[in-house]
Chains A and B, each alone.
Chain A
Amino acid sequence: MKSLFQQDLKVANVGLQGFADNIVAAGGQVTHLSWAPPAGADAALGWKLANLVGDKRIEEANRSAHERYLAAQPRLIDLILARDAMPGLTERRILHAGPPIAWADMCGPQQGAITGAILYEGWADSLEAAEEMAASGKVALEPCHHHGAVGPMAGIISPSMPVWVVENADRGNRAFCNLNEGLGKVLRFGANSPDVIERLRWLGGEFFTTMQAAVRGLADANLKPLMAQALHMGDELHNRNAAASALLFKRFTLALLKSKLDSAAVERALAFVAGNDHFFLNISMAACKAMTDAAHGVAGSSMVTVMARNGVNFGIRLSGTGDQWFQAPANPVDGLYFPGYTVEDAAADLGDSAITETNGLGGFAMAASPAIVQFVGGTPADATANSRRMLSITLGANPAFTLPPLNFGGTPAGIDARLVADCGVLPIINTGIAHKKAGVGQIGAGITTAPMSCFNDAIAALATSLEGGAA
């Protein structure tokens, strides 16, 4: 108290507004808080949370996790088959988006996509047989995140699918993501008709061979500068990847021109890349996964390293709580729908692509991409405000990814679960909306948030993991 007598009093007023008014009337300095009970109004958890504020073990762990994250240098080093990329992806195993979920509980698009993947792998020769196989447990279904991988929407990766390999040059960890099939009827939205499987076969055949040569021939495999440049060109690298896709197209073109591949095959491959403004999304996701994985596994850290959805639940992981998932039903999406569709048709929030927000992009980098904010009828100023708001729940900013509207300040990066639970500001996620029926495809896009109870549960688990000492 004594040192306070020598300072100017600056009060944080929590509660009665009248007290703040009085301080102002008396000529004092005060900030009145728009307070609501934190931690889901669970007083016991709120007390636990309060005792984690400024905890030296957490602060130290977060510093270390955040440094690893900032030091990460994702490089696009290869395109190989999933079974060769992931040692755990043995036969009769299929990876899906989000936290773990049983077949019977899955949403339509995810079931449809798994059925399609079984057909693609040739494990069954009809849709019915494929469904029967999945339902009877003859195929192991596991989250992509359990294998260092990510996948947009249904997020299906089966052993014979090609995956991008992104390596973090700083720590050597690798992350994987499947190929983007374009828009319309595609596997990631649960479509599994013959044309969809046919496209997958082409992607796993001629396109795979061609693009593997392109990746291996890249003059510059560094992804961070390319992503930083795309942020200055209107992408937020989740719902908008037009600039990054174009930048990557330039690099691939030069690499392919030097290859000795059949020019017709090269033309078909490049035409496919050129025709898809979302082509870069899957590479962005692998890069984000490589960066956030670098921060994972620091004991005591409250930094969020995974946010993912399986079409039913939203799940998060913290750096300091290992393999645990903290799940809650996904929040609704506030969005715009394509002609003929309404919110009634929408599946719940789906996909691993929230790894971009976990990494400070997507909704967090909305200021870079004012076009995206129109999905909820906002203005460019709202986009900037969204990015600023996210700074209040992150450990810091990423100087490698800057946002011109924030005076070239870094993207908000490294969500601290303590801050989310305390201030009630939820991470913003830009997302596509899938039709709830398999195979219809994308029917809109919009903005959603991560559910609060994931963060509350994560805080409770972190507190338990730290019990037995205080700092």
Chain B
Amino acid sequence: MNTNSRFYPNLYKDSVSLMTVSAKVSAVPGIEAASVVMASATNVENLANAGLGEFEVRPNDLIVAVSGTDDACAEALKTADELLSAKAGGGEESAGAQQPVTSIQMAAAKDPAHNFALISVPGDYAAAEAMKALRLGMDVMLFSDNVPPESERALKLFAQQQNLMVMGPDCGTAIVNGVPLGFANVVRRGPIGIVGASGTGTQEVTVRIHQGGSGVSQALGTGGHDLAAAIGGISMLHGLKALDEDPDTKVIVLVSKPPAPDVAKAVLGAAEASVKPVVAIFLGADPDSITRNGVHGAAYLAQAADMAVALAKGEKPDRKPIPLTNDVQRKVKEVARAMASGQRCVRGIFSGGTFCFEAQLIHAAAGIPAYSNAPTAGNQKLTNVAKSLENTIIDMGDDEFTQGRPHPMIDPSLRDARIREEVADPTTAVILFDVVLGYGSAADPTAGLIGVIGTAKAKAQAEGRRVAFIGYVCGTDQDPQNRAAIIAALKSAGVFVASSNAEAATWSAAIISERKEATK
């Protein structure tokens, strides 16, 4: 161990600068101790105490003293010399110039123009973020789920007082002022406003409106619990009123599963009082039972959209059934006839919860009950969601499939694997599925599916079975994904591609009915 040192006569540096240099010199490998100080009486004493050597007191001179190996000492003195002779000024760019925005309050303070909060943090914290946004005067979309019902109620009551809207919790989609929020399709702006309690239900309506040549003023969500008795439809009533007062909205569509009876009454009452025509669909409710003066009940999602488009054009909102043309009927018979004797079941594998719900309703209406992880009234709950029984129509976006995994709209690989399994089942006659496009969804949602269908189908054929694949692509030509290419690829893989979820389910039900006849 050696010591080495060097004086710099009449070089003054402030103590903080020198401590910085000391720290860097001390960091030279092989250095035991290092000090760069003005050679004042106190400092010289400190150097001696630190074992760096005995020095003369020269208060106007700077001293570098180091201890360590010979080489390290030489290196350290060189380092010190470089640092001490560095030119003033300049210096590196600062990393801290842009400070991160870590709270909604900070965002609001930075730019008071923030008027909306989109919240997708874990459910434990989501309500608090929403409350802060509301208290700062922002409308809120709460994508997060697992928000306690009492928090939802507190948020919505507070929002009501402030004339603000809480979309959610568990609100998956919205289009506000033309901006897609969460999972949302790119649709034309236009005269039809939507308030929806079900995410893919709202997506289906917006997409269908776009395809019908019309457009959407606003698509507002309420979250799935809003129309329960505990909440009382606060958000839906707010959204309805906002659209009623919005000069750009000419027609309003309400989308929900059947609400609690009192809530249904309140919502339909408000819809009837609205100055604008309203199309209401409470999936599973008899359309006549929800028709009022100026309120037009619809039976399924695409129908609701078609009725709204008609109303927007000033036409009569006819409740047209799903067309089962002669061509389709012929095709259905042909497909059914080609099946093996044991093939009798539909297996509906969905990523959109409302699509799963609507498909069950359409099958049930055709006398085809089904098992499901999310059964509609009259259908049976599947005890083991991993294993289908007879007719099974499942929502793979539901909690039991998404614990710790991405939603199948984001990552469809689990859904693809399930389809492969279902095709291998000798009782399967029809595979019914959805592909949801738009912002938030996978960039190429059928990348794996096309291959799965190809190999599964070939395998079934080798075993003497012909399985019918019926799919629906929910999306528009303006979505980030290439809708036309996806449909073409599905068709060339032998998939029957329907123009709406309801149509796909109707085709499926027709084939299953044929098979029921055939296997009687």
> In the complex, what residues of A have CB within 8 A of residue B57's CB?
none
CB nearest to A184 among chain B residues: B42
A50 and B102 contacting across the interface, CB-CB below 8 Å: no
B46 and A422 contacting across the interface, CB-CB below 8 Å: no
A51 and B131 contacting across the interface, CB-CB below 8 Å: yes
A22 and B180 contacting across the interface, CB-CB below 8 Å: yes
> In the complex, what residues of B have CB within 8 A of residue A7's CB?
115, 177
B102 and A36 contacting across the interface, CB-CB below 8 Å: yes
CB distance from B328 to the nearest CB of A (A): 36
B119 and A5 contacting across the interface, CB-CB below 8 Å: no
A18 and B440 contacting across the interface, CB-CB below 8 Å: yes
B19 and A1 contacting across the interface, CB-CB below 8 Å: no
A138 contacts the other chain (CB 8 A): no
Count of chain A residues near B, Cβ 8 A: 72
Provide the B16-50 mask, 1 if CB < 8 A to any CB of A, else 0: 11011011000000000111010000110011011
B128 contacts the other chain (CB 8 A): yes
How many Å lie between the Cα of A13 and that of B439 in the bound state? 15
B321 contacts the other chain (CB 8 A): no
Partner of B96, one of A55, A338, A382: A382
A14 and B119 contacting across the interface, CB-CB below 8 Å: yes
A422 and B132 contacting across the interface, CB-CB below 8 Å: yes
Provide the A14-40 mask, 1 if CB < 8 A to any CB of B, else 0: 111011101101111111111111100
B114 contacts the other chain (CB 8 A): yes
Partner of B180, one of A5, A26, A389: A26
> In the complex, what residues of B have CB within 8 A of residue A260's CB?
none
A392 and B439 contacting across the interface, CB-CB below 8 Å: no
Interface of chain A: mostly helix, strand, loop or mixed: mixed
Partner of A381, one of B96, B180, B439: B96
> In the complex, what residues of B have CB within 8 A of residue A379's CB?
91-92, 94
A10 contacts the other chain (CB 8 A): yes
B132 and A1 contacting across the interface, CB-CB below 8 Å: no
Partner of B35, one of A53, A339, A424: A339
Interface segment out of the listed A41-49, A97-105, A310-318: A41-49
A15 and B143 contacting across the interface, CB-CB below 8 Å: yes
CB distance from A249 to the nearest CB of B (A): 19
CB nearest to B241 among chain A residues: A2
How many Å lie between the Cα of A41 and that of B110 in the bound state? 24
A453 contacts the other chain (CB 8 A): no
With A19-B440, A375-B19 known as contacts, the answer to whether A382 contacts B117 (CB < 8 A) is no
A339 and B245 contacting across the interface, CB-CB below 8 Å: no
How many Å lie between the Cα of A445 and that of B19 in the bound state? 10
A340 contacts the other chain (CB 8 A): yes
How many Å lie between the Cα of A378 and that of B225 in the bound state? 52
Which of A13, A41, A375: most chain B Cβ within 10 A?
A13
CB distance from A402 to the nearest CB of B (A): 20
How many Å lie between the Cα of A54 and that of B19 in the bound state? 45
B104 and A12 contacting across the interface, CB-CB below 8 Å: yes
How many Å lie between the Cα of A411 and that of B96 in the bound state? 18
B519 contacts the other chain (CB 8 A): no
B238 contacts the other chain (CB 8 A): yes
How many Å lie between the Cα of A32 and that of B22 in the bound state? 41
B116 and A336 contacting across the interface, CB-CB below 8 Å: no
List 3 A-B pairs, minimum CB-CB distance, nearest first: A381-B94, A15-B120, A385-B96
Contact surface of B with A, Cβ cutoff 8 Å:
14, 16-17, 19-20, 22-23, 33-35, 37, 42-43, 46-47, 49-52, 91-97, 99-111, 113-122, 124-125, 127-133, 135-136, 138-139, 143-144, 151, 163-165, 176-182, 186, 217-218, 220, 238-239, 241-242, 245-246, 248, 439-440, 480
Contact surface of A with B, Cβ cutoff 8 Å:
1-2, 4-5, 7-16, 18-20, 22-23, 25-38, 41, 43, 46-47, 49-51, 53-55, 183-184, 336-340, 371-372, 374-375, 377, 379-382, 384-386, 388-389, 392, 419, 422-425, 444-445
Q: Return 23 A-B CB contacts under 8 Å, by A number.
A: A9-B176, A12-B118, A18-B440, A23-B118, A26-B180, A29-B113, A33-B101, A33-B102, A35-B121, A37-B124, A38-B103, A50-B130, A51-B135, A336-B19, A338-B19, A339-B22, A339-B43, A374-B16, A380-B91, A381-B91, A381-B96, A385-B99, A419-B103
